[in-house]
Amino acid sequence: MRSKQTGFTLIELLIVVAIIGIIAAIAIPNLLNAIDRGKQKRTMADIRSVGTAVEEYAVRLGCDGHRLHGSFLRQGCVEERQRRADQQLQLRHRLPGRGVHRLAARHPDIAFPR
């Protein structure tokens, strides 16, 4: 009596490996882009949190509490505002008894008037 051998042929295995390779080639770049977008959103949320804290501190100092543009800068709550050629915005503030604090941000969605 002849024994029946069951299993996959080499061609079938190669086809499965090729299909998995194609799926991986499509999925991995999308996954990496999603990770980058997540990091960008996290950074923007962190920058917003810092901005909120700066505004809260400005209100405590007696500034009028406007956003980082306008009278907030003119009243001395932020000593220096600098926009560099690489689109990085830097703010510097001297806190009494605590030294100089700097905030730097770079993102195409951040826009402050000159």
pLDDT tens for each residue of 27-76: 999 998 888 888 888 888 887 888 788 777 766 766 543 444 444 444 44
Question: Is residue 40 one of the residues assigned to a domain?
Answer: yes
Residue 53 counted as domain residue: yes
In a domain, 93, yes or no: yes
- Note down the domain range covering 74: 17-106
Q: Is residue 6 part of a domain?
A: no
The whole-model pTM stands at 0.43
5 within domain boundaries: no
CA distance 104 to 101: 10
Q: Is residue 4 part of a domain?
A: no
Domain count, the chain: 1
Within a domain: residue 7? Answer: no
- CA distance readout (Å), 90 to 21, 28, 68, 81: 45, 35, 12, 6
Query: Closest by alpha carbon to 55, among 80, 87, 78?
Result: 78
SS3 content of the chain, % helix, strand, coil (to 5): 50, 20, 35
Give the pLDDT of residue 68: 47
Phi, psi of 16 (to 5 degrees): -65, -45
Please determine, for residue 96, whether its predicted confidence score (pLDDT) is greater than 60: no
What is the mean pLDDT of the segment spanning 99-105?
60
10 within domain boundaries: no
